[in-house]
């Protein structure tokens, strides 16, 4: 007999302000314990030395994680000029140095090179798999790791402060797969120096923002008062970028059985008008829509040829 997962059926999103020196996996486990939830996951790993927005999905919200991970990210980070470490952050050992300290005008002059679609080589200390093994495991074992450049999208890169000659603070809005540590390395090389990240904070992930985030201590205090549910956002929070379709009780029953429903001409036209390009894990999801009953998520599905075919159905209490 299969063993049932321990915990409660808790469904929704928590926007955690991840603390310093904690892995994303540890953060998810901590939130899961606070809610005593059966199932939990996160939308986009943050390095242990990074802080900020870590969206954590509980229960049925885990079905929307791929959509959350496609959302744009906003980071604030500080680069220390003149030193490069093997990890490209303050945790690693020094591997290169330079006496060059770029001035503000020089920094701002190179920023346009790093916006739009660019090629970026990920850090060797990353979770990318090389022949079935994580790159950081190979690097820690002293093996030579060569990672290929990949195309990433940088929507905006801004210099916000130069507190002293050794440091510069940036904000970067980017798409999935972008590495801040690689950006620090590449900026430094473009300026004829070395560099690594000494502070990193994520401010936004898709529709999840810092202003709505909660600390672990805050969650524990709310749980102690029996009010942890106040930190939960609806399952469909991560689906703000796909069209919504209001359906009936009968249509809900059909979707939960995996059956398609027929769209009214008006519904089909409205969905078509609100459609936008969307790719998830290499798959075209432009026809995706969210079916809701009384504002509650029922199913994610494809709306085309006058029908709505469920792809993922939510099992939420009413």
Find the DSSP H helices in the chain.
24-35, 65-69, 104-110, 135-140, 180-190, 216-224, 249-256, 265-273
What the block records as the tokens of 312 is 């993922």
Kind and range of the H or E run holding 244? strand 244-246
Kind and range of the H or E run holding 287? none
Q: State the CB neighbour count (10 A cutoff) for residue 248.
A: 10
CA 165 centroid distance within chain = 32
Phi, psi for residue 118 in degrees, rounded to 5: -130, 165
Q: How far apart are CA 90 and CA 127, in angstroms?
A: 18
Just list the catalytic residues: 47
Rounded to 5°, angle at Cα 11 from 242 and 228:
120
Helix axes 24-35, 216-224, angle to 10 degrees: 10
Residues 6+ apart with CB under 8 A from 248: 293
Closest CA to 73 of 157, 149, 135, 11: 157
Give me the sign of the Cα torsion angle 106, 107, 108, 113: positive
Exposure class string for 35-52: b at 16+ Cβ within 10 A, else e: bebbbbbbbbebbbbbbb
CB contact at 8 A, 152 and 174: yes
Q: 303 - beta bridge partners?
A: 308
């Amino acid at each position: 007999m299969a063993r049932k997962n321990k915990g409660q059926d808790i469904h929704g999103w928590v926007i955690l302000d991840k603390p310093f020196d904690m892995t994303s996996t540890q953060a998810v486990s901590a939130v899961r314990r606070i809610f005593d939830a059966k199932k939990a996951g996160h939308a986009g790993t943050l390095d242990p030395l990074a802080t900020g927005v870590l969206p954590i999905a509980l229960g049925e919200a885990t079905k929307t994680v791929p959509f959350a991970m496609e959302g744009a990210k906003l980071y604030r980070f500080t680069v220390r000029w003149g030193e490069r470490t093997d990890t490209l952050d303050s945790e690693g050992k020094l591997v290169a140095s330079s006496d060059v300290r770029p001035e503000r005008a020089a920094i701002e002059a190179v920023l346009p090179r790093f916006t739009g679609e660019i090629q970026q080589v990920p850090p060797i200390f990353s979770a990318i798999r090389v022949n079935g093994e994580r790159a950081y495991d190979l690097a820690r074992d002293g093996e030579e790791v060569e990672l290929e450049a990949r195309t990433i999208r940088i929507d905006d890169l801004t210099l916000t402060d130069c507190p002293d000659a050794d440091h510069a603070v940036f904000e970067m809005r980017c798409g999935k797969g972008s590495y801040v540590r690689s950006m620090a390395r590449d900026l430094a090389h473009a300026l004829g120096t070395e560099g690594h990240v000494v502070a990193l904070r994520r401010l936004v992930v898709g529709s999840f923002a810092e202003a709505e985030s909660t600390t672990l201590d805050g969650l524990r205090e709310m749980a102690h008062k029996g009010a942890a549910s106040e930190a939960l956002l609806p399952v469909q929070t991560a689906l703000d970028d796909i069209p919504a379709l209001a359906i009936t009780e009968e249509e809900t029953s059909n979707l939960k059985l995996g059956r398609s429903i027929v769209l009214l001409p008006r519904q089909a036209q409205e969905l078509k008008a609100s459609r936008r390009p969307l790719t998830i894990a290499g798959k075209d999801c432009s026809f995706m829509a969210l079916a809701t009953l009384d504002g509650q998520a029922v199913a994610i599905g494809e709306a085309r040829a006058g029908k709505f075919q469920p792809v993922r159905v939510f099992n939420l209490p009413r």
